């Protein structure tokens, strides 16, 4: 039976992913801050799907701990999903270096640090899959969300390069670019219903796409076309749109 490591396991999308992968007969390693609060979730997954679920303490910004964290995992997972993320309101982030750095450290630096270690192990074992949850926000900088967007753009580029590097080592890397999703992260936002997914829809999209070896997944699918249009708008026009 496969073991899948989920980073940022308290996220709403990650919880839905845990159900999707457990239902698909994968054992789970759930990693999060204050991970003991996931004990009931772990018990429920174990009873419901008859899979092994272990809990692991991890702060994605604590890069010094990443190597020890990974070395402590037994057995080593066959797949890893990075679901941790942090989005601060743009107006607050642009006035606060602390919030800006947290945005970069959670969404980019921390994820890169952990994946560097995991990628080396998967490369040596010549197998495994890596799923990184980035965002459509990384496809083009917008006035209303460019600090988070810049961190996600960095993460998307990292995943693209990693995919390129690990291709010949039989390790599959998938970038996920959700549009709007109903989660804690967007709870205070008014989102257009037709463009907004539920976490379980995104989780099903991710599981299916990962099993098919998709490289870049947009969820909902329509976001591929929306971002295709948005990235084609000339900069001279785009800067006047205040999107
Ligand atoms: N919701 C959307 O519309 C949307 C759109 C595009 C992309 N995404 C991305 O999808 C992923 C999942 O987010 P979500 O929507 O499910 O939001 P969420 O429920 O708010 O989950 C975000 C998770 O990240 C974790 N996290 C934050 N800082 C961390 C740290 N230093 N160490 C470890 N974990 C940390 C949080 O843990 P705590 O519980 O400990 O705070 C939280 O559980 C994120 O990467 C997000 O950027 C979301």
CATH value at residue 172: 3.40.50.720
106 Cβ below 6 A of ligand 1: yes
Q: What is the mean pLDDT of residues 180-193?
A: 95
State pTM to two decimals.
Answer: 0.97
For residue 59, the enclosing domain spans 3-238
Number of domains in the chain: 1
- Whether the CB-CB separation of 174 and 216 falls below 8 Å is answered with yes
Answer yes or no: is the C-beta of 184 below 6 A from any ligand 1 atom: yes
131 is a domain residue: yes
Residue 243 maps to a domain: no
The pLDDT value given to residue 1: 84
Give the number of other CB atoms < 10 A from CB of residue 44. 15
If DSSP codes are grouped into helix, strand and coil, which group holds residue 54?
Answer: strand
Structure tokens at 172: 């599959």
Q: Is 12 in the pocket of ligand 1 (CB under 6 A)?
A: yes
Residue 69 pLDDT > 90:
yes
69, 112, 144, 185: residue to mutate for ligand 1 pocket, most atoms within 8 A of CB: 185
Q: What is the pLDDT, as a whole number, of residue 62?
A: 98
Does 65 have pLDDT greater than 90? yes
Q: What is the pLDDT of residue 149?
A: 98
DSSP letter, residue 76:
P
Q: How confident is the model at residue 242 (pLDDT cuts 50, 70, 90)?
A: confident
Query: Band of the pLDDT at 243, cuts 50, 70, 90?
Result: confident
**151: in domain:** yes
Mean pLDDT of all residues in 14-35: 98
Q: Are 177 and 139 in contact (CB under 8 A)?
A: yes
Average pLDDT over residues 134-146: 97
């Amino acid at each position: 039976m496969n073991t899948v490591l989920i980073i940022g396991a308290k996220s709403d999308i990650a919880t839905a992913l845990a159900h999707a992968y457990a239902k698909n007969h994968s054992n789970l390693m759930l990693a999060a801050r204050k991970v003991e609060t996931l004990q009931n979730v772990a018990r429920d997954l174990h009873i419901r799907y008859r899979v092994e679920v272990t809990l692991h303490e991890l702060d994605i910004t604590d890069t010094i701990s990443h190597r020890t964290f990974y070395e402590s995992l037994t057995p080593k997972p066959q797949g890893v999903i990075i679901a941790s993320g942090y989005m601060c309101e743009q107006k607050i982030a642009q006035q606060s270096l602390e919030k800006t750095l947290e945005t970069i450290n959670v969404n980019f630096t921390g994820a890169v640090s952990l994946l560097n270690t995991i990628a080396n192990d998967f490369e040596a074992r010549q197998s495994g899959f890596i799923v990184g949850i980035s965002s459509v926000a990384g496809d083009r900088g917008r006035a209303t969300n460019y600090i988070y967007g810049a961190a996600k753009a960095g993460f998307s580029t990292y995943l693209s390069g990693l995919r390129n590097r690990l291709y010949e080592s039989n390790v599959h890397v998938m970038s996920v670019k959700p549009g709007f999703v109903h989660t804690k992260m967007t709870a205070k936002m008014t989102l257009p219903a037709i463009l907004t997914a539920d976490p379980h829809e995104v989780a099903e999209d991710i599981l299916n796409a990962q099993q098919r070896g998709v490289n870049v997944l947009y969820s909902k699918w329509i976001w591929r076309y929306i971002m295709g249009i948005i990235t084609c708008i000339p900069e001279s026009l785009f800067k006047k749109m205040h999107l």
